[in-house]
Chain A
Amino acid sequence: MVDVLVVGAGPAGLAAAAVLAALGAGEVEVLDREPRAGGTPRHCHHGGFGPLGLEGPGFAERWVRTAERSGAALRTGVTVTDWAGPLTLDTTSPHGLERITARAVVLATGARERPRAARLVPGTRPAGVLTTGELLRAVHVHRQHVGTRAVVVGAESVGFAALDALRLAGVDVAALVTEHPRHQTSPARALDARLRRGVPLLTGATVADILGRGRVSGVRLTHRDGRTAHVPCDTVVFTGDFVPEHELARRGGLLLDPGTKGPATDGAFRTDRRGVFAVGNLLHAVEPARAVAREGAAAGAAVRRYLAEGDWPSASASVPLRVAAPLAWIAPNLVTPDEPLPYGGRFALRTAEFVGRAPLVITQDGRTLHHARLPRPPVPNRPFHIGGDWAARVRADGGPVRIAFG
C-alpha cells in the first residue's frame, strides 16, 4: 500500500510526484516501464524544452532529479499491466509480479504517434516505414542506420524534429508532405527547412500508396487536385497525429472523452473513478513538455487536496464539454460547477482545419457562456488555449456545454 501511485515517469508524472512528495503526501511511488525515467523527452535531442535551447534529455534529467529530491520513489522497468481493484494495479518487472494498492492513482502514460497502419495508408508492407518516436530512438539511442532518402509525412513541429534527426543520421529528405494547405510549425522553422536544408514542403498531399518489397522503394502521393506523383525513397517517417496511450484507462473502465480519446477529466484532473487522476499527454496529445510539467505540478496539488479532504464529484455533478467540428477536442472536458479549484487558468483545444479568425462560442442549453475572438488564428495539430472564467457560469443541472467556432 502506498499513498500515491503514479503510472508513467514522463514530465507529467514526475512533476506531479515531485509536488506530492514535497507537500508531504506520504509514500509517493512513480512506476515506468522503460529502463530509465524521464519519458518522451529522453529521446528528443533537440532544443525547445526550456530557455537557452534546453534539449529533451536535459529536461528529462532535471525532472527526474526534482522528483527524487522531493522524496518520491522512482522505479523503472516496471510495467503496469492491469487493474486488480478500483485503486489496485498489477505490475510486471524483472523482480516478478507485484500488486500495488494506493489511496490515489495518477495515470500519466503519455501519447504516441499514429503509425502507418492506423492511418490506413495502403500499399505493401516493406521495412523502412517508421514514426518519429522510433526514428529518434534509432538515431540518438541506438545509432542505427536509418536509410538514405526519406519522405516525411506531417508538417507539425514534430515533423521538423524528424528532419533534424534524419539529417544527423545522414538521410536525405525528398519531401515533407502534409494534407493541410500550410505547415503547422513556427514560420522560422519552416523557412529554415525549406531554404537552408532545401526540403520541399508538399501541401494538400497525402500518401496514397507505399511501394516496395522487402524495403520501401517509394511512395505515390496524391494531391488534393487529383494529380499523383511517384517519389522514390527508402524510408517513410510518419510524424505527429498523436493518440493517447489510454490502454490502462480503458482497461480500468474509465470514462473517455470522445474527442481526446483520453480519460474524461475535470479541472482538478479527476476521472470518473474516485481516487483516479490523469494528467499530461494522456489527456491531450500533445502539448509541449514544459506545459505538461506545469500541469503535472497542478495535478499534484489537486491530488494532495483530495488526500486531505476526500472530495470527489459524483458523476452527475460534472457537465461534459462537447466540441463541434472542425474543433477536434478540448481538455479538460468535464466542468464540475461549484468546484473550488481554479481551472489551472486554461483549457487546451485543437482544431482539425485552418479556420481563420472565427470567434469561439461556448454555450449551455442555448445560453452563451463565452464569445470571443482568439488572439491568433488556430492551427491544426497545434495547441491553442482559452481562459477558464466561463466555467464558473456552467450550471450543474444543465445539458452539455457546446464549444464551436462562431
Chain B
Amino acid sequence: MTPVGSVDDGTSVTRDGALPDVTYDVTVVGAGVVGCAVARELAARPGLRVALVDASNDVGDGTSKANTAILHTGFDAVPGSLEARLVREGSRLLAAYAADSGIPVEPVGALLVAWDEEQLDALPTLLAKAERNGYDAARIIGPEEVRSREPHLGPGALGALDVPGESVICPWMTVLAYATQAVRAGVDLHLNCRVNTVDAFDGDVRVLGTGRGALRTRWLVNAAGLHADAVDRLLGHDDFTVTPRRGQLIVFDKLARDLVRHILLPVPTALGKGVLVAPTVYGNVLLGPTAEDLDDKSATGSTAEGIATLREKGRAILPELLDEEVTAVYAGLRAATEHDDYRISADPGRRCVTVGGIRSTGLTASLAIAAYVTALLDDAGAGLPEAGDLPPVRMPNLGEAFPRPYQRADLIAADPAYGTVVCHCERVTRGEIRDALAATVPPGSLEGLRRRTRARGGRCQGFHCGAVVRELFERGAELGDR
C-alpha cells in the first residue's frame, strides 16, 4: 500500500468559501460513483477545466455508499438495453481497474438458489437470458451440488443457477479512487456545493447558482443520482421522474463470514425479487436489500418492518446467520424511474448530458457510463481535447482477501504507525488514519473516515475506539503533517 498523496500537491478540494473565479469547460454535478467516474474520464483530457461538485460534504455520500457492493456480470440485464451493454463493459473495465488500483475485489461467484418449483422452472429462462447477454459461463446445478458448495444453506434448495463471474467489490474505494485520480489530474472538487439554479446562457457560458455562490461553466453533466430529475428540470428538461426505491440491508459480524461462500442471489419471479446473502470484501455478510417504492428522496432510514422482513427471509436462506451479531443496518435509495433503462442523453443545444435512472447497477457500469458520457459530449460538440494517459492510482487496501497494514511486517518496520492498531474490531492502524486524513481527497466527517479506513465500522461501533478515532479526526491535518 502506498499512502495516497498529500494535500499540498497543488490539487484542489474545497469544502467551504466562495468558488474560484474561473470558467469551467465542463461541470459535473454529483460526485457519486457515476459523477466521479465521469470526472476521471474528463481528467484524462489535457487542458480541459473540469469542476466536480456535490451537495454533500464528501464524495460518494449518496446512493454510492449504500449498495450491495456486487460487481455484476450483467447476466440478468434486459438484453439489448443500454444498461445491459454498459454493465457488461463496465464490469470488465472495473475489474481491471480495481486490480491496477488496489481496490479489493473477490471473485466469489453467485448462486441463484431456487427454493420452490416456480423458481426452479425460471432457471432455464435465466440461463438463456444470460447467454443472450453474452454471458456463457452460467449453468444450472442440482441440489446436491448446491448443498456441497454451500453447506450452511437452509433446507429446501432445489437447484441453482451458477454464475461464476459475479464478484464483490469495495464501493467506497472505487469512488475514492476515481475522485483521487480526477483531482490529481487537475479537476476541482467542490463539496458542500449544491446546485440550486441554472441561469440562461450568456454567450457560451452559463452560471450555476450553488450553495457556495456562482459557478460558471460551458458544459454540464448531470450525474445527480436521485436528484437528476430535479437538476434536469433546472436545465429545462422534463423526461423522467425519479422514484426512490429503498433497499434496507443488515451487515452481520465478520465471525459469520465462514457461513457463506458465494453471493446467494434470489431467483426473480412474478412475486418480486427477494433478498440476497453476500459476503463483503471486508469479511462481513450482507443480508438484503428490501425494495420499497417511496416518494421521499431522503428516506434512508431503516424500519422495524424492513429489518423483520430481512431477518425472516435470511433465516430461510442461511439459518445460522441469524445467531450472529449485527454490525450495521443501513438503507440505500435506488434511482428508479418510469423507464426500464438508464436515461443517458445529450442535449447539444443546452450543452449538457444527463445521466439519469442509474438504478441498481451503477457501481458496476460506472466506467462504461463515463466513457459513454464522454463520447456523447464529444458528439455534442464540446470539443474535448484528445485523451491522454492518467497517472495510475494506488489505493489503501480495505479488503480481507489481501494483506492489511497490521499484517505487514515490511510496512510496520518502515513506519511503526502501521503497527499501532487504533480500531480493534476492524484492525485499523494509526498510520492508515493519518494517511486518509492527509490524502488527496480527505474525509469530510467521521463517516467519511470510516469509508476510507473502516475505523469505527466494526462490531463495537466505537465502544473501544470511538473517542480516539474522533480525536485523530479532529486533529486531522496536524496529524498528517507529521
Contacts and interface: CB of A to CB of B under 8 A. Distances in A.
B417 A81 contact: no
A182 interface: no
Contact of A116 (B255, B300, B304, B461): B461
Contact of B409 (A81, A97, A120, A209): A97
A204 B446 CA distance: 34
B343 interface: no
A250 interface: yes
B115 interface: no
Interface in A124-180: 124-125, 127, 130-131, 133-134, 137-138, 141-142, 144
A92 B419 contact: yes
Interface in A242-279: 243, 247, 250-251
A123 interface: yes
Interface string A357-401: 000000000000000000000000000000000000000000000
A362 B438 CA distance: 61
Contact of B326 (A117, A134, A209): A117
A161 B461 CA distance: 20
A122 B307 contact: yes
Q: DSSP majority for the B interface? A: mixed
B470 interface: yes
Interface size grouping (class) on chain B: 35 or more
Contacts of A137: 466-468
Nearest to A247: B255
B424 A33 contact: yes
Contacts of A250: 255
B406 interface: yes
B393 interface: no
Interface in B119-170: none
Contact of B412 (A33, A92, A130, A209): A92
Interface string B387-430: 00000000000000000001101001100110111001101000
Interface in A71-118: 77, 79, 81, 92-97, 112-118
Candidate in A81, A92, A130, A142 with the most chain B CB atoms within 10 angstroms: A92
A118 B324 CA distance: 9
A125 B406 contact: no
A209 B470 CA distance: 25
Nearest to B461: A115
B466 A134 contact: yes
A118 B325 contact: yes
Contacts of A301: none
Nearest to B306: A122
A387 B427 CA distance: 41
Interface string B236-276: 00000000000000010001000000000000000000000
Contact of A144 (B255, B298, B467): B467
B11 interface: no
Given A115-B463, A118-B325, A208-B304, A127 B446 contact: yes
Nearest to A98: B409
B97 interface: no
A196 interface: no
Contacts of A134: 462-464, 466-467
A209 B302 CA distance: 9
Given A113-B463, A134-B463, A142-B471, A79 B298 contact: no
A372 B7 CA distance: 70
Contacts of B471: 142, 144
B329 interface: yes
B303 interface: yes
8 contacts: A97-B409, A97-B412, A118-B459, A118-B461, A125-B301, A141-B467, A142-B471, A250-B255
Closest 7 pairs (CB-CB, A-B): A94-B416, A115-B461, A134-B466, A133-B463, A137-B467, A94-B419, A138-B467
Given A113-B463, A138-B467, 13 more contacts: A33-B424, A92-B427, A96-B413, A97-B409, A112-B460, A114-B325, A122-B302, A123-B301, A124-B300, A134-B462, A134-B466, A134-B467, A250-B255
Interface of A: 33, 77, 79, 81, 92-97, 112-118, 120, 122-125, 127, 130-131, 133-134, 137-138, 141-142, 144, 208-210, 213, 243, 247, 250-251
